[in-house]
């Protein structure tokens, strides 16, 4: 394999391994920094309404 | 009917990753990289991942979770819900239809993997030549004559087909969490461990071909990853330069130069040319291959992810989960699959030998590699591990193909699990039986794969994108995806999903149609799958192809009649109407 081949190989591997490792880290290690109120707000929020929580009421 | 949910976040990620990781990761991807050039292909592949694979995946996750929160789990229900009309549910049926048909031929290939694993375990595969390996494969799958796949014995695929079929239906009958999630929780880590074992074994191979010192793993890696392709060309009688073979490694190039110098004066002139990355990137077929590989590998656009995501809870994360499952698939494909098959096969056969034997999924997987394993020390064990790895990846994928139609039947008919499993099993037995019986030249399988596994997927993925980004609204869609997600999508994602991804998808589809189907670009020949239906150019009309097309329409009509009779979707417009008010 040529030097260019090694560079391609390592860049491809590096990109996808780093992305996968970062995703696993985020998924498994980092705890969800959420609070109960936030969840309640999300529960109340229906994306079919055009305005996000705190915005104008659709009623 | 009791609503189902995933047990854990890891479970759903493993299930979606499992649906994406399949035979293509280990068999098709390495062949594609080798064929189209390492760096050039990977540039197109990475861009396709960012601008097509991940966006469509997130769209499917977002649509699925939102539809699921309103009680819809099938692509028909979810598309109908998003568009607020039952008419759109008839379009959504396509998602259930294409996954069902793909399942019916995929299970046949799944059975090959299990059969090869079993035969390696029992030391029954001791090939000494490519002809022996090819002959076993052809007899095993019954490719010589229609109906010849039927027959008992471990050298026939039937036993393994029945086992795979029962396993899939047993798992799907157990439900989303107790069946699919349970299986994927064990199968995916096992699959990765097996793949790592195979990678370590392949990378430590030495002296695979003692008579050919130039053949090595290093040459195999160079064949795949070298950015500049070195080609030996010969001049034909009309004066055109025609590709002879690809040269990889200093020794290969030096021996070619030596042969050229020693060649008799009256022989055809030869030359060695180098094709740079830039020149390779100018070739549209490279982009079609890279984007197509990305698209099919991630299992996006099938409607399977949409159904899986519909079992999420309303505030479950989808953005991170989606990117995690996509990256898990890419890890298996690039970092594991890319290191197992082609480097080993080149080390054994050499570049010319491998290209001659074939780089396609079936040739590489079921003809070249079994011969390679048979010649290795402890090759029977490694052969078993490799094909068992393929079998596990195939089961995790086939389960995801079965669930959308299961969800549709349960949703539309309101059937209990036992009855819906029985009904689906009946339909699948008929269609799989058709594929299994008409095994000569794999005509039935190929026809289904062309119409459902390629054409319908492009169409359905485009429909999903248009519904999400244009009908529902890209900005609103981004807000929907961000709801409850651990990482937030940037605002420009709305632009990508509204303009960039649909454009790439449509361009890819049109180029594919022009190049491979209608032959407007390139060969100028109509696709054999079209010729099978209309004949011409000394190509006979195929009755099997026509029967396959008829089955597709019959199953669609069956699903459409279920939808028509169902009252479950009558309130779609009203629901949306109330929300808007």
3-state secondary structure B55-122: HHHHHHHHHHHHHHHCCCCCHHHHHHHHHCCHHHHHHHHHHHHHHHHHHHHHHHHHHHHHHHHHHHHC
Evaluate whether residue B178 is within a structural domain.
yes
B343 at interface of A, judged by CB pairs closer than 8 A: no
* B313 in the same domain as B400: yes
Q: Measure B515 CA to nearest chain A CA, in Å.
A: 28
Q: What confidence score (pLDDT) does residue A50 get?
A: 45
Q: Is the pLDDT of residue B217 over 50?
A: yes
Separation CA B397–CA B408 (nearest Å) = 18
B217: in domain: no
**With pLDDT > 70 as the criterion, what percentage of chain A qualifies?**
49
Task: Give B169's contacts (C-beta < 8 A, 6+ positions apart).
Answer: B402, B421, B424, B425, B428
Percent of chain B with pLDDT strictly greater than 90:
44
Cβ contacts of B404 within 8 Å, gap of 6 or more: B74, B75, B95, B96, B99, B100, B302, B303, B304, B306, B307
Distance (Å, whole) CA B442 – CA B366: 14
Where is average pLDDT lowest: A3-17, B86-100, B257-271, B316-330?
A: B257-271
Q: Which domain holds residue B70?
A: 9-209+279-580
For chain A, what is the domain count? 1
> Considering B253, B275, B297, which residue would you say is the last residue of a domain?
B275
Question: Of A5, A27, A28, which has the smallest distance from its Cβ to B227's Cβ?
Answer: A5
Residues B323, B375: one domain? Answer: yes
Beta bridge partners of B270: B234
DSSP string, A1-59: --HHHHHHHHHHHHHHHHHHHHHHIIIIISPP---HHHHHHHHH--TTSSSPTTS----
The confidence score (pLDDT) of residue A32 equals 52
Which tens digit of pLDDT belongs to each residue from B438-496?
999 889 999 998 899 888 988 999 999 999 999 999 999 999 999 888 889 998 999 99
Nearest residue on chain A to B82, judged by CA atoms? A48
- Bigger pLDDT: A32 or B391? B391
Q: Evaluate whether residue B219 is within a structural domain.
A: no
> What does the pLDDT read at residue B2?
56
pLDDT in tens, B495-554: 999 999 999 889 888 988 888 888 887 777 888 899 989 887 788 889 999 999 999 999
User: What is the model's pLDDT at position A48?
Assistant: 54
Do B187 and B233 share a domain, yes or no? no
Residues B307 and B387 in one domain: yes
Q: Which of A1, A15, A43 is opposite residue B315, by nearest beta carbon?
A: A43
Q: Do B23 and B141 belong together in one domain?
A: yes
Residue B331, chain A, CB below 8 Å: the answer is yes
CATH of the domain at B177: 1.20.1740
Residue B106 has pLDDT above 90, yes or no: yes
3-class secondary-structure state, position B528? helix
pLDDT at A5: 86
Report for B31-35, B343-347, B418-422, B531-535: range of highest mean pLDDT: B418-422
- Give me the number of domains chain B comprises: 2
Mean pLDDT for the stretch of residues B369-382: 88
pLDDT recorded at residue A52: 43
Pair (B108, B133) in one structural domain: yes
pLDDT band at A46 (very low <50, low <70, confident <90, very high): low
Q: How confident is the model at residue A55 (pLDDT cuts 50, 70, 90)?
A: very low
Residue A43 confidence class, pLDDT cut points 50, 70, 90: low
Q: Is residue A14 part of a domain?
A: no
Interface membership of A41 toward B (CB under 8 Å) = no
Residues of B in contact with A40 (CB under 8 A): none
Note whether residue B107 is domain-resident.
yes
Q: What is the pLDDT of residue B574?
A: 60
Residue A12 in domain: no
Nearest-CA distance from A54 to chain B in Å?
14
Which tens digits make up the pLDDT trace of B232-241? 888 888 888 8
Answer yes or no: are the C-beta atoms of B31 and B24 closer than 8 Å.
no
On whether residue A37 sits in a domain, the answer given is yes
List the single best residue of B327, B472, B480 to mutate versus A (max A Cβ within 10 A): B327
Segments forming the whole domain that contains residue A47? 22-52
ipTM of this complex prediction, to 2 decimal places: 0.86
Residues B246 and B307 in one domain: no
Q: What mean pLDDT, rounded, does chain B reach?
A: 88
Q: Which of A27, A32, A49 to mutate to test the interface with B (most CBs of B within 10 A)?
A: A27
Q: Does some domain include residue A34?
A: yes
Tell me: do B283 and B271 sit in the same domain. no
CB contact under 8 A, A42 and B315: yes
Q: What is the pLDDT of residue B161?
A: 95
Q: Which residue of B has its CA nearest to A8?
A: B39
Regarding whether B504 and B363 lie in a shared domain, the answer is: yes
DSSP string, B192-218: HHHHHHHHHHHHT---SSTT-TT-SHH
Lowest mean pLDDT among B103-112, B323-332, B537-546: B537-546
Q: B81 and B177: one domain?
A: yes
Q: How far is A35 from chain B (nearest CA, A)?
A: 12
B525 and B472 together in one domain: yes
**Cβ contact B104:B431 at 8 Å:** yes
pLDDT higher than 50, residue B17: yes
Contact B221 A42 (CB under 8 A): no
Task: Assign B267 to helix, strand or coil.
Answer: coil
Residue with tokens 């020794």: B251
**In a domain? residue A35:** yes
User: For residue range B110-162, what is the model confidence (pLDDT) as tens digits?
Assistant: 999 999 999 999 988 888 888 899 999 999 998 888 988 888 888 899 999 99
pLDDT on residue B328: 92
Q: Which range, of B30-34, B142-146, B405-409, averages the lowest pLDDT? A: B30-34
Assigned domain for A28 exists? yes
Q: What is the pLDDT of residue B246?
A: 81
The pLDDT, as a whole number, for residue B249 is 76
* Region B547-575 average pLDDT: 88
Q: Give the orientation angle of helix B182-203 with respect to helix B379-413, to 10 degrees.
A: 150
pLDDT bucket at A37, cuts 50 / 70 / 90: very low
What does the pLDDT read at residue B152? 86
If asked whether residues B242 and B294 sit together in one domain, one would say: no
Which range, of B1-10, B297-306, B547-556, averages the lowest pLDDT?
B1-10
Task: For residue A45, tell me if it sits in a domain.
Answer: yes
A50 contacts on B by Cβ (under 8 Å):
476
Residue A29 domain-assigned (yes or no): yes
pLDDT tops 60 at residue B580: no
């Amino acid at each position: 394999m040529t030097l260019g081949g090694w560079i391609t190989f390592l860049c491809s591997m590096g990109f996808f391994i780093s992305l996968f490792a970062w995703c696993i880290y985020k998924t498994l290690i980092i705890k969800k920094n959420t609070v109960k109120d936030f969840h309640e707000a999300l529960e109340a929020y229906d994306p079919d309404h055009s305005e996000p929580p705190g915005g104008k009421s659709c009623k | 009917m009791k609503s189902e949910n995933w047990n854990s976040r890891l479970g759903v990620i493993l299930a979606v990753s499992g649906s994406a990781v399949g035979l293509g990761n280990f068999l098709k991807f390495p062949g594609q990289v080798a064929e189209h050039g390492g760096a050039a292909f990977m540039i197109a592949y990475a861009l396709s991942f960012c601008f097509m694979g991940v966006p469509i995946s997130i769209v499917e996750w977002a649509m699925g979770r939102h539809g699921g929160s309103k009680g819809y789990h099938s692509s028909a229900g979810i598309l109908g819900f998003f568009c607020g009309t039952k008419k759109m549910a008839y379009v959504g049926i396509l998602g259930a239809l294409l996954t069902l048909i793909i399942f019916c031929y995929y299970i046949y290939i799944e059975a090959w993997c299990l059969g090869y694993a079993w035969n390696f375990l029992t030391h029954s595969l001791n090939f000494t030549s490519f002809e022996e390996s090819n002959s076993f494969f052809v007899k095993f799958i019954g490719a010589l004559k229609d109906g010849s796949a039927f027959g008992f014995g471990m050298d026939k695929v039937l036993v393994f087909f029945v086992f795979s079929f029962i396993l899939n239906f047993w798992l799907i009958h157990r439900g989303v969490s107790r069946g699919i999630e349970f299986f994927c929780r064990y199968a995916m880590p096992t699959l990765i461990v097996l793949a790592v074992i195979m990678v370590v074994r392949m990378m430590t191979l030495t002296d695979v071909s003692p008579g050919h010192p130039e053949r090595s793993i290093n040459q195999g890696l160079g064949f795949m990853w070298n950015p500049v392709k070195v080609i030996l060309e010969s001049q034909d009688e009309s004066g055109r330069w025609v590709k002879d073979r690809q040269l990889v490694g200093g020794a290969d190039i030096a021996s070619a130069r030596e042969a050229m110098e020693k060649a008799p004066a009256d022989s055809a002139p030869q030359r060695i040319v180098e094709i740079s990355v830039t020149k390779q990137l100018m070739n549209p077929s490279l982009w079609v291959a890279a984007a197509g590989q990305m698209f099919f590998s991630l299992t996006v656009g099938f409607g399977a992810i949409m159904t899986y995501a519909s079992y999420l809870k309303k505030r479950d994360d989808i953005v991170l989960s989606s990117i995690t499952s996509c990256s898990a698939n890419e890890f298996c494909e690039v970092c594991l699959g890319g290191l197992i098959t082609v480097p080993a096969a080149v080390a054994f056969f050499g570049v010319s030998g491998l290209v001659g034997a074939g780089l396609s999924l079936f040739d590489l997987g079921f003809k070249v590699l079994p011969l390679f394993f048979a010649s290795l020390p402890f090759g029977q064990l490694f052969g078993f591990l490799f094909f068992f790895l393929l079998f596990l990846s195939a089961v995790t994928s086939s389960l995801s193909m079965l669930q959308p139609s299961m969800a549709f039947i349960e949703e539309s008919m309101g059937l209990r699990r036992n009855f819906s499993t029985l009904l689906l099993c009946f339909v699948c037995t008929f269609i799989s039986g058709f594929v299994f019986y008409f095994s000569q030249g794999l005509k039935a399988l190929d026809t289904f794969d062309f119409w459902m596994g390629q054409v319908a997927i492009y169409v359905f993925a485009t429909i999903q994108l248009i519904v999400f980004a244009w009908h529902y609204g890209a900005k609103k869609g981004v807000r929907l995806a961000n709801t409850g997600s651990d990482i937030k999508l940037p605002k420009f994602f709305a632009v990508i999903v509204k303009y960039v991804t649909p454009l790439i998808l449509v361009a890819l589809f049109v180029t594919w149609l022009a190049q491979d189907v209608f032959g407007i670009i390139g060969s100028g020949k109509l696709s054999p799958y079209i010729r099978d239906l209309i004949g011409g150019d000394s190509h006979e009309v195929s009755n099997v192809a026509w029967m396959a097309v008829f089955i597709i329409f019959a199953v669609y009509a069956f699903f459409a009649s279920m939808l028509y009779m169902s009252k479950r979707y009558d309130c779609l417009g009203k629901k949306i109407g109330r929300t808007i008010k």
